[in-house]
Structure 1
Amino acid sequence: MGWLVLAAVAPGAAHLRAGWRRTGLILICCYAAGLLALLAAILTTDNLVGSLTEDSLLTVIVVAAAVLGVAWFALVVHSFVVLRPGRLPQQGQILTGTLAGLLAVVAVVPFGVVAQVVSTYQATLNGIFQETPAEGEPTPVAQDKPEDPWAGRQRVNILLLGGDADDNRIGVRTDSMNLASVDVKTGNTVLFSLPRNLEDVRFRPGTPMAQRFPQGFRLPADPGGGRSDLLNSVWEYADAHPEIFGGKQHQGPKVLMDTIGFTLGVKVDWYALVNMWGFARLIDAIGGITLTVEQDVVFGKYNEGLVKAGTRKLKGADAMWYARSRTFSDDYTRMRRQRCVLGAILNQADPATVLTRFSKIALATKELIRTDIPRSMLAQLVPLALKVKDAKVTSVQFVPPLINTGYPDWVKIRNVAAKALRDSARSNPAVAATASASPTASPKKSPKQPTKQPGQDNNPAKGLTEGCGGAL
């Protein structure tokens, strides 16, 4: 029984014990060579995490795990046979035979788990990311410059959107808009939050939308008095009017990316759109998030729902209501709560949680995310995301009194964004965290622009969870 257990861990041990010296030595040598080859691959691969996004490698891992699982099962059974259990009394044969069967099954389980996890991971990547960059999008960096995988690029800008698409709604309104600008060397990130109700949105000169709206995005008021010409309507409007773009369909994502990039003075590389209510499934998949709710948050058509104040772990639905409810609140408070939820997920979705709940997380992610990030860029983006986990993440929210959403000062917005990016790029994170982000005053101000009060904080760049009531 002891030799049988040892053979399940060190192939060939039972064969040596039974006198099958040549077979035993071959098995042990192959086992040792395999371990050394695996160790060498880990130590010599510069971008191991990024390599695990390549479809061909993932397929090889799945096939190899399946083959090794079957081989290990056969090896345990053969080890039992060569130990000649027939010499034992009947009770001993039954006992060792049962043990051999259990060991054979147990030996297969790790390989089966690896194959299942990698297969799920591969299917998730295939379901979310497109295989090649779209026309005009950034392409993967040439492999002959491994010392600089970003080919001189200092930052990567990804637009993170929360949409409210539903079966009973036409189009997509992007009610949550955050641009994550990541320093490719340090992982230091600035998260720019733009309000959904930003008016008179300007479009980049020379674009079809700028030709249609030379004085800014403005439409007649809706019959009910609402407006469909705010920043959160740009995607929906562009999708609904392909004639503006010469008949091209589905221009919403591209137009919104370009519009927000023009507003902030940066180039947006890609976007990721998350179904806000599907996001609740992702939070449930990681086991909920711990938040400090500063005061009761009321929600529901008849104010029947309540997220009570206090520090505790929230499930997905409650976390989403905390982030999205506007009852007895406003858009700007809601933006702050959304930032708190993002910060809590970033802090609490540690590698151990992701691994233990991987299948649930993968399924939830596949169902709720839409993006134009090409699959070929993941080899660089995955390790960059791991840098962000331990880097300095600051947030700038373009809300009153910093700006007036009805009469935005576009020059001020760009100045604030540029200053925050300069601070983030500094080599000393402590300096970036305390540096002032006060912008250069714009030469033109709307008469309705709120004035700065004495003693008011002049640093719009905040820590991601700053002001979140102790969110963990």
Structure 2
Amino acid sequence: MRYRRALMLMVMTLAVPGSAQLVAGDRRVGRIATRIWAALLVAGILGMAMAAVHHQYVFWFVTDTTALGVVRLGLMVLAIGWALLFLDAWRIGQPLSLSMGHRRAVVGLNGVLCLSVAGTLLFGAHLVGVQRDFILTMFSGDTVHGANDGRYNVLLVGGDSGAGRWGLRTDSMTVASIDATTGKTVLIGLPRNMTNFPFAKGSVMHKAWPHGFDCGYPDCELNGVNTWVGDHLGLFKGVKDPGMDATISAIEGITGLKVNYWAFVNLAGFRGLVDAVGGVTLNVRQPIPVGGLGADVTGYIKPGIRKLDGFDTLWFARSRDSSDDYSRMARQKCVMNAMLHQVSPQTVLTNFEKIAKASSQMISTDIPASEVDTFMALALKAKSQPVATLSLVPPLIDTGHPDIALIRRKVAASIAVSEHPPATSAHHHTKKKAPTTVTGGSIGSLSTGYAANQSSNLGAVC
């Protein structure tokens, strides 16, 4: 009887902390523990109900550093308190009055329950701490920018780090123009070799280059802005990130868009992020060389619908051997589209610690922590919609002598079509035949243009 009683006290503590004390111990402690448990249970149910109705609440909760700090501390206190209740339940069960076999069983069960519950709660506190540190480290911006004409324009820059190199070399530049209400996104790609382009009026770079960046190839290409700034830092006194500031002024001068925020992705760390989410599935239309361009080609990514790991995904996006810059830009857009639509919230939750670690090593951004919930909500909306794309490359744009007025018209038109898609007429059933030529792994060619560089539905041409 005493053995069964001791076991029941521990099971009661597992089911309702404090109930063992209410029945056979210090009732004051029992009342406090059960009330806390009831309050937490009600708060949890209300929180889940609110989350089911208002997703924005969830996004705020998982990105607010104050709330995360409170939850972390609460989980740690709860772990210690619950463990003490298990120990007290063991004491109330009078283990010394039991036979040696029963005594050992009670001690063993109490130890397993105590360590399991406390360990689970402490691990939860650790994950909350990882999330909080991730938000504090990653999203360190201090200025909130509202939407421009109902859209957020975020500059996504991919680059290389290297020994002896100032900063990071911009290798890929894309403006993600996102509808602030629907999340519908247009990706506007800019070639790294564009020259003779203007800077936004009033910027430091516009004062230095009032007639455009025209010092001659290859020193004054778009991806050379960062390097030029490194040699003229005296012009940017008091500017936190002069290289990005100058690059943004170039993007704004070319597209006519006002950039709200920027995010810099170190391509060498991109591999870790893809591995952290379990890889991405891509349509490899031709063998994609691994290596090349001054180094040996060490292999090929085989054609087909393939799930690629981080190493192969990085080479799919970057390879230029037997290809050209614009085909590569098309493949990069396909990788962006795949990441947006394939990485689910469930994947993020189950691989959270690895994703947070990989992301903090590869991404820097000026998006403030207070705005992360807004972009999480927009990303969830964007997953269910096709992504449109416009790349400012040949044959549409002469990158050596770009027609800035034409570029701005095309950008405005792409955004307008994204916001107000044309109605499909019942009298027109003829579909434009899709190009069948594949060059460098992308549909299209240098002379006719690549489908993924200009499409209202990026997923359909990838």
TM-score by length of 1: 0.82
The alignment yields a C-alpha RMSD, in angstroms, of 3.2
Q: Which moved more, 1:256-265 or 1:85-94?
A: 85-94
Q: Which of residues 387, 402, 412 in structure 2 aligns to 1:408?
A: 402
Are the equivalent residues in 1 in contact too, given 2:264–2:364 (CA < 8 A)?
A: yes
Partner residue of 1:255 out of 246, 250, 254 = 246
How many Å apart are 1:313 and its aligned residue? 2.0
| Distance change (3 Å), C-alpha of 1:56 and 1:247 | closer
Relative to structure 1, is the Cα distance of residues 72 and 452 closer, same or farther in structure 2, using a 3 angstrom cutoff?
A: same
What SS does structure 1 have at the residue aligned with 2:459?
coil
Q: Which residue of 2 aligns with 1:91?
A: 101
In structure 1, list runs of 5 or more residues that go unmatched.
Answer: 140-149, 222-226, 437-449
Aligned partner (choices 31, 34, 43) of residue 40 of structure 2: 34
Question: Aligned AA for 1:424?
Answer: S
Shift of 1:245: 4.5
Secondary structure of 1:191's counterpart equals strand
- Cα distance 1:177–1:88, how it changes in 2: closer, same or farther (>3 A)? same
Q: How many corresponding residue pairs?
A: 432
Residue 10 (str. 1) matches residue 16 (str. 2): yes
Task: Tell me if structure 1 keeps the 8 A contact 2:154–2:262.
Answer: yes
Deviations, residues 103-126 of structure 1 (Å, cap 9, x unaligned): 001111221122111111111222
Alpha carbons 1:187, 1:392 under 8 Å: kept: no
Q: Secondary structure at the match of 2:268?
A: coil
Once the two structures are superposed, what CA deviation does each residue of 1:131-177 show, in whole Å capped at 9, x if it has no partner? Answer: 522xxxx45xxxxxxxxxx6896111110000112225344321111
Q: Distance in 2 between matches of 1:235 and 1:175?
A: 11
The reply on whether 1:320 has 2:326 as its aligned counterpart is no
Counterpart CA distance in 2 for 1:365 and 1:376 is 18
Partner in structure 2 of residue 182 of structure 1: 178
CA gap of 1:37–1:248, structure 2 versus 1, over 3 A, is closer
Which amino acid is 2:14 matched to? A
How far residue 34 of structure 1 moved from its aligned partner, in angstroms, is 2.1
Query: Larger % of helix: which?
Result: 2
Identity across aligned pairs (percent)?
36
2:340 aligned residue (335, 346, 350): 346
The two structures have a TM-score, normalised by structure 2, of 0.84
Query: Taking structure 1 as reference, are residues 41 and 153 closer, same or farther at Cα in structure 2, changes over 3 Å only?
Result: farther
Q: Contact (CA 8 Å) 1:58, 1:118: kept in 2 or not?
A: yes
In structure 2, what residue type is equivalent to 1:460? Answer: Q
Judge conservation of contact 2:79–2:117 (CA < 8 Å) in 1: yes
**Is the 1:242–1:249 contact (alpha carbons within 8 Å) kept by the matching residues of 2?**
no
Query: How far apart, CA to CA, are the structure 2 residues paired with 1:298 and 1:33?
Result: 59
Instruction: Select 2:197's aligned residue among 198, 201, 204.
Output: 201
Question: What does 1:331-370 align with in structure 2 at a 5 Å threshold?
Answer: 331-370=325-364
- Structure 2 residue matching 1:412: 3-state secondary structure: helix
Do residues 377 (structure 1) and 387 (structure 2) align? Answer: no
Cα 1:456–1:319 shift into 2, 3 Å: closer
| SS, match of residue 105 in structure 2 | helix
Distance in 2, Cα, partners of 1:451 & 1:72: 66
1:289-304 maps to which residues of 2 (within 5 A)?
289-300=280-291, 301-304=295-298
Q: Is contact 1:238-1:250 (8 Å) kept? A: no
- CA offsets, 1:329-365, max 9 Å, x none? 0001101111111122222221121112111111111
Compared CA separation, residues 247 and 185, structure 1 to 2 (3 A): closer
Q: CA deviation at 1:415?
A: 1.3
Q: For structure 2, which runs of at least 5 residues remain unmatched after alignment?
A: 1-6, 432-444
CA 323–458 in structure 1, closer or farther in 2 if over 3 Å, else same: closer
